[in-house]
Each structure stands twice: as C-alpha cells, then as structure tokens.
Amino acid sequence: MSSEYEPVFGRGGEVVDDLESVRDVFGKAAAPFTRSPWSWLTWAFLLPLVALTTRSVLVRFGAPGVVLAWCGTIILGGAVEVWAVRPDRQTARTTLAGWALRAQANLSFVAVVISAALIWADRINAVPGVWLLVLGHSFLLLGGLAFAPFKRAGWIYQVAGVVALWPSQDGLVWFAVATCIGNLWIGLSVRSMRAGKA
C-alpha cells in the first residue's frame, strides 16, 4: 500500500531518470526562441541603452519620459522578438511553451508589484536588482531545462541582481552590464548552434 511519503516517480528505491526526457520536451518548446540570434542581440543592445540613459531622461523629461523610454524599448525589442520567433512548420508552438510564457508573465507581474512597492517606499534604486533576480530566476528555472546558455545567463542575472541590491551600488549600471552580457551570451550561443546544424 502506498503512502504520502512514497516518491511521486518510482517506488521502493526504484530510480526513474526522467530528466533527459524533460529536457527534450522543454528544448522543443523553446525551439522558436533558439531559431535566430537577432532578438537576443537586440535585447543585448536595447536594455543596456535604456538603463544607462534613464537618469538623463529623468532629469530632462521627468518620470513620464522614463516610463515612455522603457515602454518604447520593450515594444521595440518585443517587435523584433515576435519577428524572430514567428512559427514555422519546424517550430510550431507547443502547450508547454504557452505554459512557460504564462509562468514568465506571472513572474513579471510579481516584479511589477514589488517595483511599485519599492517606488512607493522611495527605494527606487532597488528596482533594477529586483528585475535582475526575477529574470534570472526565470532563465534558471525554465530556460535551464531547454537550452544550457539560458541557465548561464540566469546565473549572470542572479549574481548581478544581488550586487545591484547592495546599497552602495548603481543598480542601473549592473542591470545594463548583466542584460548586455546575458543576452549577448545567448545570442552568440544560438548563432553557434545554428551554424553547427547548417
């Protein structure tokens, strides 16, 4: 008779090694995001650019200018990403991919709520670190099962996020550095992988 203490997979000491099959499924789900390096290279340019210009935009145009700059950056980068990951016969969207995108959307919602609370509490310098930690968590948790460079980028984001939360550090600079290196790493890895398959 089984009990609640029995392992979910396998019984009586039997080990079920299903990690490879899980990685295979996640790899197929992530196929659209590893079709082209261009979306990753675009993010590697746009996110550091907007992070490093945020303070000057704030001085010149105020808070509405900062919101507009970040929204414009996300829309522009998102447009390139939609173009780069457009489905074809080889990389059709899967149910798992949809689930992963919803999980990422939920993490982003959490980051927005925490960011709003930090701004309300006049701790705006902590916002870049929070976003780095949330994005890094997503890359580590979901991406690491699909494509090894996602996991490495996740570690870059996580480490930079911790440093960015340190009181004496400039969170926007660390955000710029991490998003440049992390996205560049993924973009070049995708390019190398596609070249190897050609």
pLDDT of residue 15: 47
Tally of structural domains, the chain: 1
Q: Spell out the residues 6+ positions from residue 151 whose beta carbon is closer than 8 angstroms to its own.
A: 139, 140, 143, 144
For residue 198, pLDDT over 60 is answered with: no
Q: Per residue in 86-121, is it b (16+ CB within 10 Å) or e — as a string?
A: eeeeebeebebbeebeeebeebeeebeebbeebeee
For residue 127, pLDDT over 90 is answered with: yes
Asked if the structure places residue 9 within a domain, the reply is no
- The CA distances from residue 107 to 25, 102, 124, in Å, are 22, 9, 19
pLDDT of residue 106: 76
pLDDT of residue 5: 43
Q: How far apart are CA 44 and CA 174, in angstroms?
A: 13
Q: How far apart are CA 33 and CA 55, in angstroms?
A: 32
| Burial class (CB within 10 angstroms; exposed 0-12, middle 13-18, buried 19+) of 8 | exposed
Q: What is the pLDDT of residues 28-86, one digit of tens each?
A: 766 777 888 999 999 999 999 999 999 999 999 998 999 999 999 999 999 998 887 77
Task: Report pTM.
Answer: 0.79
Q: What integer is the mean pLDDT of 101-121?
A: 81
- The CA distances from residue 125 to 100, 128, 162, in Å, are 29, 7, 13
Asked if the structure places residue 15 within a domain, the reply is no
Q: Which of 142, 47, 45, 37 is nearest to 97 (CA)?
A: 142
Asked if the structure places residue 127 within a domain, the reply is yes
List the domain range (segments joined by +) for residue 145. 21-85+95-197
pLDDT of residue 156: 95
Asked if the structure places residue 49 within a domain, the reply is yes
pLDDT of residue 29: 62
DSSP line for 22-36? HHHHHHHHTGGGGS-
Asked if the structure places residue 13 within a domain, the reply is no
Question: Which token pair is 29?
Answer: 């789900």
For residue 101, pLDDT over 80 is answered with: no
Residues in the chain: 198
The residue type at 112: V
Q: What angle do CA 78, 147, 185 make, to 5 degrees?
A: 65
Asked if the structure places residue 1 within a domain, the reply is no
Asked if the structure places residue 140 within a domain, the reply is yes
pLDDT of residue 19: 59
For residue 4, pLDDT over 50 is answered with: no
Asked if the structure places residue 14 within a domain, the reply is no
